[in-house]
Amino acid sequence: VRDDRGVVLSGVTARWEDAAEPVLSGVELTVRPGERVAVVGGSGAGKSSLFGVLLGFVDVSRGTVEVPARVAWCPQEAVLVSTTVRENLRIGDPDASDDRLRAALDAVGLGLDLDTEVGPTLLSGGEAQRLGLARALVHDADLVLLDEPTAHLDEPSARALLDLIDTALADRTVLHVTHRPEEAVRADRVVEIAEGRVVVRAYR
Ligand code: DGT
């Protein structure tokens, strides 16, 4: 196991560029390589902002942020472009061979042909999420950020996606924002963000 795949936030204070007040203050959070952490907290608590810090689009005014080299972000609605499955996956790595792309599709249980045209409306919500996960695998992301991946899925699709996250992302470091307790308990650890701070480091 490489030891540079985890996340370490030390005393992080961060602010959106156009905001007067910090959105996160003095955040301490260490996520071990390969660990899966659920991030919970009320609306507006700063969960998405935490991802913004890890992705580098929220300014850090204090403290230090260590993230792995390759990070993938999977939002509530997967970002798909209206072209082929191949080109959607190659956003993860423009040089990936068709064999690697097919392996990623296999890993997420998607039986799509690489030449199939997709787009925001041509796949179900669950398929779109799977394609997003496959793209993260093509990117060979060390850290995968899942922001309420099941928010727009029905119950069976949500359960299927969670099972996939268990298997396909087993060896990745994963932060999973969710407001559903039944999802949070599937993680190795749960952290809660309230008023811009990690208030509970672990409660299981
Ligand atoms: P959610 O998605 O409703 O469950 O809430 P969280 O916990 O993800 O909260 P978050 O991080 O979206 O919002 C925390 C604060 O950050 C809130 O006052 C709004 C602000 N904020 C969020 N996104 C942006 C953004 O894109 N630009 C600016 N300027 N502020 C943002």
Could you report the average pLDDT of every consecutive run of 10 residues in the chain (204 residues)?
Answer: 78 93 93 95 92 94 95 93 95 97 96 89 90 97 96 93 95 95 92 82 52
Cβ of 25 below 6 Å from ligand 1: no
Atom of ligand 1 nearest to the CA of 45: 7
pTM: 0.93
Cβ of 49 below 6 Å from ligand 1: yes
Atom of ligand 1 nearest to the CA of 177: 8
Residue 120 has a pLDDT of 67
In 3D, which of 48, 3, 6, 46 has the Cα closest to residue 26? Answer: 46
Cβ of 45 below 6 Å from ligand 1: yes
Cβ of 54 below 6 Å from ligand 1: no
**CA 46–ligand 1 middle distance (angstroms):** 6
Cβ of 90 below 6 Å from ligand 1: no
Residue 200 has a pLDDT of 61
Residue 30 has a pLDDT of 94
> How distant, in Å, are the alpha carbons of 110, 125, 174 from that of 186?
23, 21, 12
> How distant, in Å, are the alpha carbons of 19, 20, 95, 164, 202 from that of 110?
41, 45, 21, 11, 34
**CA 123–ligand 1 middle distance (angstroms):** 28
Cβ of 22 below 6 Å from ligand 1: no
